[in-house]
Amino acid sequence: MRAASSAAFCARLLRRQLVLGLRRPVEIGNPLLFFAMVIALFPLGLGPAPDTLAAFAPGILWIVALLSNLLTSEGVFRGDFEDGSLEQLLLAPQPLYFSVLAYVLAQWLLTGFLLGLLSPLFALMLGLEPAAIPALAGSLLLGTAVLSLVGGIGAALTVGLRRGGMLISLLILPFYMPVLIFGSGAVQAALAGAPAAPYLAILGAMLCMAVALAPLAIAAGLRISADT
Amino acid sequence: MYFETLAAALQMDGHGAFVWSAYLITLGVIAFILYAPKRREKRFLRQLEGQIRRSGGQVAGAIKEV
Amino acid sequence: MWSLFHKFGSPPWLYRLSGSILRWLLPITVIALVVGAVWGVLFTPPDFRQGNSYRIIYIHVPAAVVALAGYYVMAIAGAVSLIWRMKMADVAMRACAPIGAALTFVALVTGSIWGKPTWGTWWVWDARITSMLILFFLYLGVIALYEAYENKELAAKACAVLSLVGTVNIPIIYKSVDWWYSLHQPASIKFTGDTTIDPSMLYPLLFMIISFYALFTCALLLNMRAEILQREQRTAWVRRLAGSGERD
């Protein structure tokens, strides 16, 4: 039997991950629900004054998006590690670099992408100026992709550990900080009437770098975790 | 020496408390990072020595020759 | 060249070498630290704007510089252990993390104490302090990851990957924090402009930076020795060392 070509293999992996995700719609809904609930905490904590909320909105939306991404990235490889299909993947002739990219892409499509699409709704709830909403959605779409890739590194390094949940946040939150700075920077720039494009360009550059390098670290991490 | 008296050096025009506490904390941390591994090594060797003596030179477990 | 490389991979050889290096390096380091501190605290003129509180610079800046360099040492050791599977590089990497974390802690605490008389507050979200704080988190992350693994060989590999990821990220983090700060900078507390430093203040500072590098080396070797013994506890040479009762 001939091994499937790399591209076909990745497409199949991606489809498999998406189908697995779609079979449990509640799990797709969970990060979004988390996002909505934490957003609802802020008016309770900061007071309902629309001015305060609108001023903090770019930061709030970005931090909450970051946290919900953090919560989901822990599980990227969990199921496949436990049922052994991860070891099959490590033995497969196709390059691991592209296979892990397919995993991360599936995770991003089910969390960050949906979050980016739904963010305008939450932005309106916090009273963010409508003019800043395209910048918010754009920066979230680009930024959460970087977050998913970086989160994948943490997930790969901790998947073999019994108590990985808290640890992964300690490992990767520092790496999330540049994305947070430029992501909320884009929204703040749009609020101030400045163009958001430079910020989005920097986020794009970060994404390019993450796509190029993160799969290498993820692959190395998975090989280490498979030995545990 | 820049300061004329010891009291002036301790006082440092009101900044003494900050400067000296910063130096004391640093001294503590430096002493710790030098002393902690030393103590760990000593304690480990003592423990191993006792273990060897108890077993009368015959040590449980495989010994690799290097 | 290769024979030297193989020697570095040999635990008993490294243990003896580090012992003979420490015998002279440790006293020199301690003396240099004392001399540098006395020079900086008692024999330099005060700063014309900050008065005497600036004397904290002689521990704050060296600690910060060496803490950052320590992360790179750790990452390089991690890379060596990943590429050439050298066990002693693992040991070096593991030894770097607590020292680096301790020095970062010193830089943060002294920076905070320095901030009180200068800015009137213990903590300012200044670009450099924030970057230092993130560096502290990075070190603690490496330590936490190492402790989470039961198998210490795998732990070292995982930490090596993490510290390499950190090395790629540190410049990005530093640049973005710098940029973030310049965007939000409150005008009143800017004081770190382009000021030149007088030689009478610069020489003790450079002297202290070199002393801190020596301190890092000493602590690294001491930590490596303890780690080597524990890893090699089943080998004959460690047994002989413990049995003979001779220690240095």
Domain count, chain C: 1
Are residues A157 and C158, on separate chains, in Cβ contact within 8 Å?
A: yes
Using a pLDDT cut of 70, give the percent of chain C over it. Answer: 89
Residue B28 resides in a domain:
yes
Q: What is the mean pLDDT of residues B1-10?
A: 72
Domain count, chain B: 1
Tokens 């540098």 sit on residue: C36
> Chains contacting B with at least 3 CB pairs below 8 Å?
C
The CA distance from C246 to the nearest CA of chain A, in Å, is: 38
Residue B4 resides in a domain:
no
Residue C238 near chain B (CB below 8 Å): yes
**Res A126 pLDDT > 90:** no
Residue C160 resides in a domain:
yes
Residue C133 resides in a domain:
yes
Q: What is the pLDDT of residue C191?
A: 47
Q: What is the pLDDT of residue C243?
A: 72
User: Amino acid letter at A60?
Assistant: I
Output the average pLDDT for chain C.
85
Are residues B41 and C116, on separate chains, in Cβ contact within 8 Å?
A: no
Least confident among A146-155, C44-53, C155-164, C211-220: C44-53
Q: What is the pLDDT of residue C25?
A: 93
Tell me which of B7 and C245 has the higher pLDDT: B7
**Res C248 pLDDT > 70:** no
Q: What is the pLDDT of residue B65?
A: 47
Q: What is the pLDDT of residue A206?
A: 93
Q: What is the pLDDT of residue C214?
A: 95
Are residues C148 and A182, on separate chains, in Cβ contact within 8 Å?
A: no
Which tokens in the block code for residue A17? 């991950």
Are residues B23 and C106, on separate chains, in Cβ contact within 8 Å?
A: no
Residue A47 near chain C (CB below 8 Å): no
Asked whether at least 3 C-beta pairs link A and B within 8 Å, the reply is no
Residue C217 near chain B (CB below 8 Å): no
**Res A51 pLDDT > 90:** no
Residue B30 resides in a domain:
yes
Q: Which of C99, C114, C243 sits opposite B18 (nearest CB)?
A: C114
Q: What is the pLDDT of residue C188?
A: 42
Q: Which residues of C touch A217 (CB under 8 A)?
A: 161, 164-165
Q: What is the mean pLDDT of residues B37-53?
A: 87
Residue C94 near chain B (CB below 8 Å): no
Output the average pLDDT for chain A.
88
Residue C21 resides in a domain:
no
Q: What is the mean pLDDT of residues C52-64?
A: 87
The CA distance from B40 to the nearest CA of chain C, in Å, is: 6
Residue C169 resides in a domain:
yes
**Res C49 pLDDT > 90:** no
Are residues A224 and C164, on separate chains, in Cβ contact within 8 Å?
A: no
Residue B31 resides in a domain:
yes
Q: Which domain holds residue B41?
A: 15-53
Say how far apart CA A76 and CA A103 lie, in whole Å: 7
Residue A39 near chain C (CB below 8 Å): no
Interhelix angle C199-231/C87-119, nearest 10 degrees: 140
Say how far apart CA C244 and CA C100 lie, in whole Å: 34
**Res A24 pLDDT > 70:** yes
Say how far apart CA C188 and CA C184 lie, in whole Å: 12
Tell me which of B16 and A3 has the higher pLDDT: B16
Which tokens in the block code for residue C40? 């900086």
Are residues C173 and A173, on separate chains, in Cβ contact within 8 Å?
A: no
**Res A194 pLDDT > 70:** yes
Contact predicate C45/C200, CB 8 Å: yes
Say how far apart CA C4 and CA C86 lie, in whole Å: 13
Please, which residues 66-85 of chain C have a Cβ atom closer than 8 Å to chain A? Answer: 82
Interhelix angle A133-158/A112-125, nearest 10 degrees: 140
The CA distance from B3 to the nearest CA of chain C, in Å, is: 7
The CA distance from C183 to the nearest CA of chain B, in Å, is: 30
Q: What is the pLDDT of residue C105?
A: 95
Helix ranges, chain A (H) = 6-23, 25-46, 50-73, 78-82, 85-91, 96-110, 112-125, 133-158, 165-191, 197-226
Residue B25 resides in a domain:
yes
Q: What is the pLDDT of residue C103?
A: 95
Q: Which of A167, A174, A224 sits opposite C148 (nearest CB)?
A: A167
Q: What is the pLDDT of residue A217?
A: 94
Q: What is the mean pLDDT of residues C49-55?
A: 77
Sorting pLDDT into bands at 50, 70 and 90, what band is B46? confident
Residue A192 near chain C (CB below 8 Å): no
Residue C37 resides in a domain:
no
Residue B37 resides in a domain:
yes
Q: Which of C141, C145, C176 sits opposite A181 (nearest CB)?
A: C176
Which tokens in the block code for residue C213? 């590098």
The complex's ipTM works out to 0.87
Q: Which domain holds residue C151?
A: 56-186+199-229
Residue C157 near chain A (CB below 8 Å): yes
Say how far apart CA C12 and CA C18 lie, in whole Å: 10
**Res B59 pLDDT > 70:** no
Residue C157 resides in a domain:
yes
Say how far apart CA B4 and CA C42 lie, in whole Å: 10
User: Amino acid letter at C92?
Assistant: A
Q: For residue B3, give the chain C residue with the closest CA.
A: C42
Are residues C161 and A177, on separate chains, in Cβ contact within 8 Å?
A: no
Residue B20 resides in a domain:
yes
Q: What is the mean pLDDT of residues C94-109?
A: 93
Q: What is the pLDDT of residue C183?
A: 73
Least confident among A175-189, C80-94, C230-244: C230-244
- Write out pLDDT tens, residues C173-213: 888 888 888 776 554 444 454 456 777 788 888 999 999 99
Q: Which of B13, B34, B65 sits opposite C52 (nearest CB)?
A: B13
Please, which residues 13-42 of chain C have a Cβ atom closer than 8 Å to chain B? Answer: 26, 33, 37, 41-42
- Write out pLDDT tens, residues C129-177: 888 999 999 999 999 999 888 888 888 889 999 999 999 888 888 888 8
Residue C5 resides in a domain:
no
Interhelix angle B16-54/C87-119, nearest 10 degrees: 160
Residue C30 resides in a domain:
no
Say whether C51 sits in a helix, a strand or coil.
strand
How big is the B-C interface in CB pairs under 8 Å? 124
Residue B2 resides in a domain:
no
